[in-house]
Chain A
Amino acid sequence: MVPILDLHSVLERVRRDVERNALRARNGIRLATGARPGIGCTPKDVVWRRGRTELWHYCNDDVRVTPPLLIVFSLISRSYILDLSPGNSFVERLLRSGFDVWLLDWGVPDERDAQNRLEDYVDAYLPAGITRILELTGRDEVNLLGYCFGGDLALLHAAHHPGSPLRSLTVMATPVDFRYLGPLADVFGVGGLDVADVLDADGNVPPQVVLQGFRTLKPTSQVTRYVDLWERLWNDEYVAAYQAMTAWSDDHVPFPGAAAEETVRMLVRDNGFVTDRLTVGGDRVHLADVRCPFLTVLAKRDHIVPEAAAAPVIELVGAPDKHELRLDAGHIGLVVGKTAARTTLPTIIDFLQRRSEVSA
């Protein structure tokens, strides 16, 4: 009996390998020809635009939660990670839960943005976006949510404008203690590199520098991702997710030169959030002035914004109603994938709903 069973299992294995190799060949051709799954597909309208900055309003015929929710994204990557693919989209989930979702997208900076400072985003674009939302909705408050460096912009805004009409502030994977940010910050902090040394001819930090900085965080990840891909190239679902994720992780945007210089000086070298040495538009700014209801979400396995870099924010803000959520996820896993669907999103939705009016 034993030899027959072995023969069966060998045949089964050969059959599986042949099938998988055929699928590998098909998916390999798809990858090589650049056929990509749809990303950022949720319907939206551009309702306001200044320079490269756009305010997007996601279409939702079933708004049950007020006030509106404004998402602020990072300055160095593309916002479509929040709306990656149908069924795996942070925005889609918020819409399904009845939120009225708006997103401030910074676009792709060019030489016209090289002189943009943090105050441009914190004191000008963000308030203008909020004003436009209030005008269009007739509401008098918004819930503000910042992701990654977008969280820093949201924090600076809330601290510099305590009267800003914010019902609540949520930050996700947002660094405040830049000593723990890793090689990307160390090269400017400990290493003493000047931003001027990495500026492109257009006056901005080129996306390749940012990309290289992120790749340095996990030096073997580039090889591992191709090894993973080869192993699972037969799996359509994996290949679609791989394409969407790698398209995003390799797709950075230039960091406006003046804002980068200010970030290095104030946030990296002075570690301004922690040492309370923040200046925006010539004014001293204190996180203790953030008084609106506050939620911080951080990921325990985040290699881009390590837990230690994000954790102190809860102590620094002055809000009496403040909460922290630590999840067993990575940086991207907070908004994409199973952990996001199972834990992050329900918790954020619950937090926001408790601070909103929800109609049946």
Chain B
Amino acid sequence: MAPSPPLWRRLYDTAERAVAPRLETLVRTKHFARGTALATQAQATARAQVAALSARAWHLVNLPTGTDVARLRVQIGALDREVRRLALRLEQEQAHTGERPEGKESDGTDTRPP
């Protein structure tokens, strides 16, 4: 027979059993969902305003901001995705027509086993 858990553990379990179901019910309510959404939107708005202020300051001295760089990276990322999609489509076409695809990444990584 397993020894009974220590007193501190039994106290914690009692408290947890009382609190956990109430909290779990609370986080599944519509009010909680709406409250979390509002709080997140408020945070996002505040972040955007701080970023806009800081961007104005950097732009005054003709310097790009982190947001500008991030935007550029996302735009380059979108191009990268298009290239990947085209490469995948080409690979599929080659597979269907029986041609051997090259199997090389744009960075030259050969993923084919020897």
Q: Which residues of B contact A120 (CB under 8 A)?
A: 81, 85
Measured in the bound complex, the distance between the Cα atoms of B12 and A223 in whole Å is: 10
Closest B residue to A54 by CB, please name it: B111
Measured in the bound complex, the distance between the Cα atoms of B79 and A231 in whole Å is: 53
Q: Which residues of B contact A188 (CB under 8 A)?
A: 37
Measured in the bound complex, the distance between the Cα atoms of B32 and A351 in whole Å is: 41
Is A138 part of the contact surface with B, judged by Cβ < 8 Å? no
* Known contacts A128-B92, A197-B44, A220-B16; is-contact A191 B74 (Cβ 8 Å): no
Of the candidates B33, B76, B109, the one having the most CB atoms from chain A within 10 angstroms of its own CB is B33
Would B36 and A112 count as touching, CB distance under 8 A? no
Measured in the bound complex, the distance between the Cα atoms of B74 and A67 in whole Å is: 40
Would B30 and A190 count as touching, CB distance under 8 A? yes
Q: Which residues of A contact B91 (CB under 8 A)?
A: 128, 131
Would A220 and B19 count as touching, CB distance under 8 A? yes
Would A116 and B81 count as touching, CB distance under 8 A? yes
CB distance from B2 to the nearest CB of A (A): 12
Would A193 and B41 count as touching, CB distance under 8 A? yes
Measured in the bound complex, the distance between the Cα atoms of B24 and A111 in whole Å is: 35
Would A112 and B81 count as touching, CB distance under 8 A? yes
CB distance from B104 to the nearest CB of A (A): 10
Measured in the bound complex, the distance between the Cα atoms of B6 and A194 in whole Å is: 47
Measured in the bound complex, the distance between the Cα atoms of B84 and A125 in whole Å is: 10
Interface size for chain A: under 10, 10 to 19, 20 to 34, or 35 or more residues?
35 or more
Interface majority SS on B: helix, strand, loop or mixed? helix
Per-position binary interface string of chain B over residues 31-55, scored 1 when its CB falls under 8 Å from any chain A CB and 0 otherwise = 0111111101100100000000000
Per-position binary interface string of chain B over residues 78-94, scored 1 when its CB falls under 8 Å from any chain A CB and 0 otherwise = 10110011011101100
Q: Which residues of B contact A231 (CB under 8 A)?
A: 5-6, 9
Would A131 and B95 count as touching, CB distance under 8 A? yes
Q: A111-B77, A231-B6 are in contact. List 14 more A-B contacts (CB 8 A).
A: A46-B111, A47-B111, A111-B74, A111-B76, A114-B74, A124-B84, A124-B88, A125-B88, A182-B27, A190-B30, A191-B34, A201-B70, A217-B24, A220-B19
Can you pick out 6 interface pairs between chain A and chain B where the beta carbons lie within 8 Å of each other? A47-B111, A48-B103, A112-B81, A120-B85, A186-B33, A191-B30
Q: Using a CB–CB distance below 8 Å, which chain A residues touch chain B?
A: 45-51, 110-116, 120, 124-125, 127-128, 131, 135-136, 182-183, 186-194, 196-198, 201-203, 216-220, 223-224, 227, 231
